[in-house]
Structure 1
């Protein structure tokens, strides 16, 4: 059984390829000038065809299992979601939802989402977060099922490139001169690096919370079990001398 390649089998793909492929000007000229026998020329061209078929097979094998989901997730873009005339989202919903009631609700919400005046229409992530928090006069979420589907799909990893970058950053952080760093310290450094990157900030732009500033230089700052302060609680102002010492 040949492996399928986007709906075609390997044997079918070969039928769509030219059995006498063009090898390029220099190769064709060398074949003519050297008077290469017909059998040898046919063998060269046949190997080119075999290489093309094998290349397609390898590309197909390297595609992720969720390639169909990644193809169709463009329907969740703001432009597509707010179109008055748009394709149904049933096929995408069936990949994640098994309940007919949920799929029916998703279709209804998908058809009605463009009737609302949304604020974040230039960013897909902010748009769906806004839709998820939208409530009617009774406090019910009108697009609950649709948002669950959208946020689930948008959370899928597109590739392992980000993980590979973490490995590269690990080599930068834990060098031969810093090989005694503990796992907790390395993990914290990487969290800070990628946390700032996600927030779109640099280390010199980040303002430490006052609760963190108070424990700098104390044993509490070395405790991994220390509780984070409740951000809703009012924090006492820092002493002026402490502020000057930290600057």
Structure 2
């Protein structure tokens, strides 16, 4: 959700590019707002108040990105529905990273449930004991004669979207070594006996061998969407390729979705089919495995259709806005079917015929090589369109202004909320069981600092503390409590039951040099 900065600020192409990527003003825009409850009305009220505080008209917001929770993404009585009432042209995109992770997770549940147990319990078995890890390393070194390197196991988690495929891959690589290890410790614990029996059953290995390439495809695309500055056109092309890849494995006619392949038609993966043919399982058991794997693919397709909506899939048309395509003579016509971003003009007097004319003249009337240093047209679409936005003809008119505004606003649409999801991991890392009394204000300050340094690519080793920061860190600010005020009064301690009485805490009076020491101001420092 971002306000269009291109209509308000026109300093330089570089500044436009920076603002498009992260911000609309020189402030930290990854902000954390408190909400009394989770209902949509409460959340929307918090967002609306924040926009008012920053003088941002909600009608200028271009896109809204959330996860798939109904209170924020539902069609009725949600945060999105309230935004749509006030801004009908807003683009809504569910977090693609979250959706891809859920698609993979739901499809994996079609396979036998003991697979989930196997890939989670094996890493957990070794994570609690260094002795167990050493024993396995010795067995691994003996069986491989030191030629291969032992790989550490990774525990899958619902909040870690890129781990499941890696966990399956490591287990499959070390399958024989794991069998040997759990045979040696089977007498020690019942859990070890269960894992041994699962490893001994080759059916489980067939299922994991089948699932691995498909899970890796989902996670590879998920990682691409989590990148800091990805190319949206390529991302959504890859998303469409993944969908077609799955359809081709299920349907003989993937475009019309007609005529299903039979589970025995060898469309489930070459390695899987090769290993299954060589096995000595009964034909009935082989057919059962193939049917379960076929159901996995069907469920994956259904989940993509359910969670990746049409608005998200239309983002693939943004590829036509790349410099290479928009300057081509073979570019599509400027229509709402080929370029569904017309509503991003954000202008009540928008003239589609005028913009269509600008689109046609873009590659015909202007030699863009002369407008860039060294006659080199940039491949970065934001840099290119920022220059187009500034271009003036012989009459000193911005002859491509409306078209460039649509293009730049298109690149402002949020692709995912992966950064927000990472905040949950930061909270878990910062507020551990040993630090469970860490105050909310301190936690918020740590999250702000981490977010700011990540967004601006600042390393803590090179960070320099300013004089203002040092002046603000006073006792009154650091040890502020709800029951005390900044008046220089003594805080009476509670009676101590120990023999040594605690010294009373004292908050000093503020001097004129240090009149501003509010903890809230410390949190709002603009670095």
TM range (shorter): 0.5 to 0.7
Quick one: which of 59, 63, 85 aligns to 2:304? 59
Structure 1 CA distance for aligned equivalents of residues 309 and 447 of structure 2: 27
Structure 1 CA distance for aligned equivalents of residues 433 and 400 of structure 2: 53
Match of 1:224 in 2: 520
Aligned-pair CA distance for 1:47: 5.1
Residue 142 (1) aligns with residue 399 (2): yes
Structure 1 CA distance for aligned equivalents of residues 452 and 340 of structure 2: 34
Structure 1 residue runs of 5 or longer lacking an equivalent are 230-247
How large is the Cα RMSD of the aligned pairs?
4.2
Quick one: which of 177, 186, 193 aligns to 2:450? 193
Does the 8 Å CA contact 2:314/2:340 hold for their aligned counterparts?
Answer: no
Structure 2 CA distance for aligned equivalents of residues 57 and 128 of structure 1: 37
Structure 2 CA distance for aligned equivalents of residues 137 and 221 of structure 1: 55
Residue 73 (1) aligns with residue 350 (2): no
Question: Over residues 200-243 of structure 1, what are the superposed CA-to-partner deviations in whole Å (9 max), with x where a residue is unaligned?
Answer: 222343456666566565351425369x99xxxxxxxxxxxxxx
Match of 1:172 in 2: 429
Question: Over residues 91-121 of structure 1, what are the superposed CA-to-partner deviations in whole Å (9 max), with x where a residue is unaligned?
Answer: 3544442989533233222233342424572
Structure 1 CA distance for aligned equivalents of residues 423 and 394 of structure 2: 45
Match of 2:57 in 1: none
| Higher RCO, 1 vs 2 (CA within 8 Å, ≥6 residues apart) | 2
Structure 2 CA distance for aligned equivalents of residues 26 and 81 of structure 1: 48
Aligned-pair CA distance for 1:15: 0.5
Structure 1 residues 50, 211: closer, same or farther in 2, change over 3 A?
Answer: closer
Does the 8 Å CA contact 1:133/1:141 hold for their aligned counterparts?
Answer: yes
Quick one: which of 239, 247, 259 aligns to 1:15? 259
Residue correspondences, number: 220
Structure 1 residues 56, 201: closer, same or farther in 2, change over 3 A?
Answer: same
Local SS of the residue matching 2:261: coil
Question: Over residues 156-177 of structure 1, what are the superposed CA-to-partner deviations in whole Å (9 max), with x where a residue is unaligned?
Answer: 2222322211211222233345
Aligned-pair CA distance for 1:74: 1.9
Structure 1 CA distance for aligned equivalents of residues 470 and 397 of structure 2: 41
Match of 1:202 in 2: 459
Does the 8 Å CA contact 2:263/2:291 hold for their aligned counterparts?
Answer: yes
* TM-score (norm. length: structure 2): 0.34
Structure 1 residues 26, 193: closer, same or farther in 2, change over 3 A?
Answer: closer
Local SS of the residue matching 2:297: helix
Structure 1 residues 30, 215: closer, same or farther in 2, change over 3 A?
Answer: closer
Match of 1:97 in 2: 343
Local SS of the residue matching 1:205: coil
Structure 1 CA distance for aligned equivalents of residues 401 and 421 of structure 2: 34
Residue 24 (1) aligns with residue 273 (2): yes
Does the 8 Å CA contact 2:389/2:400 hold for their aligned counterparts?
Answer: yes
Structure 1 CA distance for aligned equivalents of residues 316 and 453 of structure 2: 30
Does the 8 Å CA contact 1:19/1:45 hold for their aligned counterparts?
Answer: yes
Structure 1 CA distance for aligned equivalents of residues 465 and 391 of structure 2: 32
Moved more, 207-216 or 119-128: 207-216
Does the 8 Å CA contact 1:17/1:49 hold for their aligned counterparts?
Answer: no
Match of 1:240 in 2: none
Match of 1:109 in 2: 358
Quick one: which of 332, 339, 346 aligns to 1:87? 332
Aligned-pair CA distance for 1:145: 2.1
Structure-to-structure mapping, 1:37-52, within 5 angstroms: 48-52=293-297
Structure 2 CA distance for aligned equivalents of residues 84 and 208 of structure 1: 54
Does the 8 Å CA contact 2:358/2:400 hold for their aligned counterparts?
Answer: yes
Does the 8 Å CA contact 1:89/1:110 hold for their aligned counterparts?
Answer: yes
